[in-house]
Amino acid sequence: MDAQLLEIRDEVFRRNPGETEFHQAVNEVFESLVPLSARHPEYADAAILQRICEPERQIIFRVPWVDDAGKVQINRGFRVEFNSALGPYKGGLRFHPSVYLGIVKFLGFEQIFKNALTGMPIGGGKGGADFDPRGKSDAEVMRFCQSFMTELYRHIGEYTDVPAGDIGVGGREIGYLFGQYKRITNRYESGVLTGKGIGWGGSLVRPEATGYGAVLFAEEMLKTRGQSFDGQRVAVSGSGNVAINAIAKAQALGASVVTASDSGGYVVDEAGIDVELLRQIKEVERGRISEYAERRGASVSYVADGSVWDVDATVALPCATQNELNDKNAAKLLASGLVAVAEGANMPCTAEATAMFQEAGILFGPGKAANAGGVATSALEMQQNASRDAWSFEHTEERLTDIMVNIHESCAATAEEYGMPGNYVAGANIDGFKRVADAMLALGVI
Instruction: Give the burial string for 354-370 (b: 16+ CB within 10 Å, else e).
Output: bbbbbeeebbbbbbbbb
Q: Phi first, then psi: give them for residue 99, nearest 5 degrees.
A: -70, 130
d(CA 43, CA 46): 5
- Tell me: does residue 344 bind ligand NDP (CB under 6 A): yes
- Tell me: does residue 124 bind ligand NDP (CB under 6 A): no
- The sign of the dihedral angle between the CA atoms of 140, 142, 148, 151 is negative
Query: Of the ranges 59-67, 196-204, 221-229, 342-350, which one interacts with ligand NDP (CB under 6 A)?
Result: 342-350
Q: Which of 105, 126, 182, 368 is catalytic?
A: 126
Spatial strand order of the sheet with 300-304 comes to 259-262, 265-269, 300-304
- Tell me: does residue 240 bind ligand NDP (CB under 6 A): yes
Query: Of the ranges 30-38, 64-72, 269-277, 315-323, which one interacts with ligand NDP (CB under 6 A)?
Result: 315-323
- Tell me: does residue 115 bind ligand NDP (CB under 6 A): no
CB of 241 to ligand NDP, least distance (A): 4
Q: Is 135 annotated as a binding residue?
A: no
Q: Three-state SS for 266? A: strand
Query: Of the ranges 82-90, 292-300, 320-328, 333-341, which one interacts with ligand NDP (CB under 6 A)?
Result: 320-328
Instruction: Give the burial string for 262-279 (b: 16+ CB within 10 Å, else e).
Output: beebbbbbeeebbbeebb
DSSP string covering 352-413? HHHHHHHHTT-EEE-HHHHTTHHHHHHHHHHHHHHTT----HHHHHHHHHHHHHHHHHHHHH
- The sign of the dihedral angle between the CA atoms of 324, 325, 327, 328 is positive
Query: Of the ranges 136-144, 165-173, 174-182, 215-223, which one interacts with ligand NDP (CB under 6 A)?
Result: 165-173
Residues 6+ apart with CB under 8 A from 14: none
CB of 292 to ligand NDP, least distance (A): 11
- Tell me: does residue 350 bind ligand NDP (CB under 6 A): no
Q: Is 378 annotated as a binding residue?
A: yes
Q: Using the 8-state DSSP alphabet, how is residue 169 labeled? A: B
CB of 244 to ligand NDP, least distance (A): 8
Which residue number, 347 or 436, has a Cβ lying nearer to ligand NDP?
A: 347
Q: Is 179 annotated as a binding residue?
A: no
- Tell me: does residue 374 bind ligand NDP (CB under 6 A): yes
Q: Is 241 annotated as a binding residue?
A: yes
Q: Is 165 annotated as a binding residue?
A: yes
d(CA 90, CA 160): 9
- Tell me: does residue 99 bind ligand NDP (CB under 6 A): no
328 tagged catalytic: no
- Tell me: does residue 319 bind ligand NDP (CB under 6 A): yes
Binding residues for ligand NDP, per CB under 6 A? 165-168, 170, 210, 238-243, 262-264, 319-321, 324, 344-346, 371, 374
